[in-house]
Structure 1
């Protein structure tokens, strides 16, 4: 029975490849038979050239965005769009993306920091050495009150590209005796990153934009362990000196990102939550069943990640060429959720847009009486213009290898395109006719 199923699957694959070959046209090297759409005019820039990032990657994808600098948040990216091969216009993804807070509580309760709002994280932007931006460009950032530079012109923003390995690989298995064919492509990313110093710690804020539309947002902590913490007064710190000496205090880094989506140019996206439940085999069936349900998140929500749970932000206006609504899925990274504060108890928050709500905790910009943390903004408003807050925690128990200097430890998450394009945006031309043709 299993062999028969495998054979049928192979036969369907062979049929799909044959259809794809016909769709590629009779002329060798021809693309799909349908006339190719004319290229749209170049999009009008959203910012001046000095603040514009535009990168066409080797596989044909172009990412465009603007950047600016804030004294608290550091680098802010705006008007982010993605244009893969085959799309005549850029696809708007985000209105803005930035850090929303770095909350650092110590295990013994002696200290608790909010690195963005209390220590003006953005002013800690540091100059990058040429070797820190291999093959790229280091841009000058105007910092009004720099903490670690003698000049307000800080060479602190790197834009470059980097190979990431396989974008895909597929070896055909034809049943007609013809030779197998390998389809493989190596992926490329646009990297945008900066380094901000807060006391002993140095944070690498990195955005990676893949040629297939995926976006990774990460923060890497490096620098030094704070030497004044080596006494570990709680008696629980990890010894990093000879014998039991120099016990470094353990602490957490709770990093928040603030994302304001603008899919297809509209801020009126909707939020959906998906949960899957596996049940034992039903009578007459050999395997367990897995049922996935969708919940429309119509009001503000403080959400918690669970096994087989995920969320997506869905475009209010745009569809791909198959007629499916474009969306981006939130893909959380590894986290150590810190329950000590209300704002750090949840993995994601969806709030209705309010211009004054900029930081997940210690928010300074709202009128008197307005709550200062994201957990208190989830008040049940209808989500017509949602803002997404992602919280990823890291519990740092020091080790001998953390000195000196401290290796980078990363925390972050990804945004994965879901139905943004009708097929893999890097599909080779000869497979372009395989869309939905496997039956």
Structure 2
């Protein structure tokens, strides 16, 4: 009679090996079958009090005080920034901060950069005519100017800032908000000028969008608050099984994530079984495109990924680590059944799914009427699955979520297979077999210089492998079946770049339009035997009016070990 553990092993084996192609070498170190997965979360980094103290000292320094003293200004966002490299050319722990200040009197944005430990002596200033994303305090003030109470439901609409630039380059700060009192059914849109405290009703009609409402499956908004952008929160997460440490990584909550508009749940220094896989993994670019001409809807928006919105996560907050919770049941967002808006927790939810031997790391984000799910799934066999979900809520004064539109999400994956240098990327093409049942042709091409590459409907089994040239260890990047293909606005599907340790290549910067400008980094640098960064894009058609409730709104590739 067969032992029960061996029977369980036989049941598990086919699901894990998934009939690998002949040229793939799947790791044969199998996970323990009966030992549960354990997750340990420890606090790292600075807390909010230390960060605010540093900014307060910087604002009172002679240099900053002389510039902002007599102006009407507000600090919009504070976070840490990477300013120095001290480990293989890459930052280990940020010791500098960046504060985003808007000067309403002079129509300018002022950025302060300084050292957390000596902010008064090290602070530097940069003035620009750009319009940063609005803060929660600004949105609340705009609602008050528009005549709403402190109990009103209000958030930044799309686009959140309306350009009002003068001939000399200065500008007025005009926010686009949506608001209603809790006991009202009608939501209104306003343009609120924070520079001169005036209000205009949004002149655009959403009648075309409203016509889609009766068949629109979007849920009603819950009107819950968000975590202010720049709220610190970082943790060291260790995933183990028995005495075996499987995964270790640093996780930054979305509110403190890097990039001009945040980047969702951000992973750093990701190791599997003690070896480095990724230095950094996040989503710095996210945009949306309306192809139909509907007044008040688009045509395009650039969204933000640092505004944490509640999700449902029964469980326990991690003591001393703000913004992290261990869930006792699968965390759910608007894209998960029963597809409700809102929840009971804001931040990073972590759940160990013992049945699938996977740890789920998840957060819900808000950008106007959109809801986004930022998620990472880490399996005991070394598979890492980035996921991004798309949802939205229906507002009576704006049914844009009910008009078909395309979302484009761009992951930035800074691979360091064992080491930061000495990596390469190989494109693998598997052609369909003919006649059926015969081995399909396989080609392997090492990428030599920076390049943009498409997913191809003619080669549905195309994937990419990132390898350490010296050891041969590698991970494969496999496109998701629902990740789509880029159109003209979506720009591309995949880019291979050489790592640059500067903030300028963490995202595409402050752009004149809403499209992704990753291709500007492609400048023929060698990526063979180098430190490589892979950008991967997925493209999703969001059509609440014609799809069945409960349809999948989640995209993303699979990253799994080939030789490890």
Task: With the length of structure 1 as denominator, give the TM-score of the two structures.
Answer: 0.60
Q: Does 2:354 align with 1:190? A: no
1:351 to 491, 494, 497: 497
* Secondary structure of 2:443 counterpart: strand
User: Partners of 2:488 and 2:449 in 1: how far apart?
Assistant: 25
Residues 65-112 of structure 1, C-alpha deviation per residue, up to 9 Å, x if partnerless? 1122226223321011011xxxxxx01110000012111011225421
Match of 1:140 in 2: 322
User: Partners of 1:309 and 1:199 in 2: how far apart?
Assistant: 36
Match of 1:215 in 2: 384
> Relative to structure 1, is the Cα distance of residues 280 and 81 closer, same or farther in structure 2, using a 3 angstrom cutoff?
closer
User: Partners of 1:312 and 1:268 in 2: how far apart?
Assistant: 14
2:536 to 390, 408, 419: 390
Match of 1:315 in 2: 468
- The structure with the greater share of residues assigned to strand is 1
Q: CA deviation at 1:346?
A: 2.2
* Structure 2 counterparts to residues 118-129 of structure 1, below 5 A: 121-122=305-306, 124-129=307-312
* Structure 2 counterparts to residues 5-404 of structure 1, below 5 A: 51-57=235-241, 60-68=244-252, 69-70=256-257, 72-83=262-273, 90-108=274-292, 110-116=298-304, 121-122=305-306, 124-131=307-314, 134=315, 137=318, 139-141=321-323, 155-165=346-356, 188-225=357-394, 227-230=396-399, 248-277=402-431, 288-305=438-455, 306-317=459-470, 319=471, 325-333=472-480, 334-341=482-489, 344-354=490-500, 355=502, 356-359=504-507, 361=508, 363-364=509-510, 373-383=517-527, 384-399=530-545
* Secondary structure of 2:440 counterpart: strand
> Relative to structure 1, is the Cα distance of residues 327 and 228 closer, same or farther in structure 2, using a 3 angstrom cutoff?
farther
CA RMSD across the alignment:
3.3
Verify the 8 A CA contact 2:485 2:539 in the aligned structure 1.
yes
User: Partners of 1:393 and 1:256 in 2: how far apart?
Assistant: 9
Match of 2:556 in 1: 412
Q: CA deviation at 1:268?
A: 3.2
Deviates more, 1:329-338 or 1:221-230: 221-230
Q: CA deviation at 1:136?
A: 7.8
Deviates more, 1:45-54 or 1:220-229: 45-54
> Relative to structure 1, is the Cα distance of residues 193 and 252 closer, same or farther in structure 2, using a 3 angstrom cutoff?
same
Verify the 8 A CA contact 2:280 2:414 in the aligned structure 1.
yes
Unpaired runs of at least 5, structure 2:
1-43, 45-91, 95-232, 325-344
* Secondary structure of 1:376 counterpart: helix
Residues 399-430 of structure 1, C-alpha deviation per residue, up to 9 Å, x if partnerless? 36778xx876111111011011xxxxxxxxxx
* Secondary structure of 1:264 counterpart: coil
Unpaired runs of at least 5, structure 1:
1-44, 84-89, 143-153, 166-187, 233-246, 320-324, 421-439
Q: CA deviation at 1:308?
A: 2.8
> Relative to structure 1, is the Cα distance of residues 390 and 287 closer, same or farther in structure 2, using a 3 angstrom cutoff?
closer
Verify the 8 A CA contact 1:302 1:349 in the aligned structure 2.
yes
> Relative to structure 1, is the Cα distance of residues 229 and 294 closer, same or farther in structure 2, using a 3 angstrom cutoff?
same
Q: CA deviation at 1:47?
A: 6.7
> Relative to structure 1, is the Cα distance of residues 399 and 156 closer, same or farther in structure 2, using a 3 angstrom cutoff?
same
Q: CA deviation at 1:294?
A: 1.2
Q: CA deviation at 1:316?
A: 3.4
Match of 2:227 in 1: none
Q: CA deviation at 1:309?
A: 1.7
> Relative to structure 1, is the Cα distance of residues 411 and 56 closer, same or farther in structure 2, using a 3 angstrom cutoff?
same
Residues 233-272 of structure 1, C-alpha deviation per residue, up to 9 Å, x if partnerless? xxxxxxxxxxxxxx93110111110010111132431010
User: Partners of 2:496 and 2:396 in 1: how far apart?
Assistant: 39
User: Partners of 1:401 and 1:280 in 2: how far apart?
Assistant: 35
* Secondary structure of 1:140 counterpart: coil
Q: CA deviation at 1:228?
A: 4.3
User: Partners of 2:375 and 2:420 in 1: how far apart?
Assistant: 26
* Secondary structure of 1:307 counterpart: coil
Q: CA deviation at 1:278?
A: 5.2
Q: Number of residue pairs matched?
A: 295
The structure whose RCO (Cα within 8 Å, separation 6+) is larger is 1
Residues 256-309 of structure 1, C-alpha deviation per residue, up to 9 Å, x if partnerless? 10010111132431010112345756xxxx974533121110111111123232
Verify the 8 A CA contact 2:248 2:272 in the aligned structure 1.
yes
Verify the 8 A CA contact 1:364 1:372 in the aligned structure 2.
no
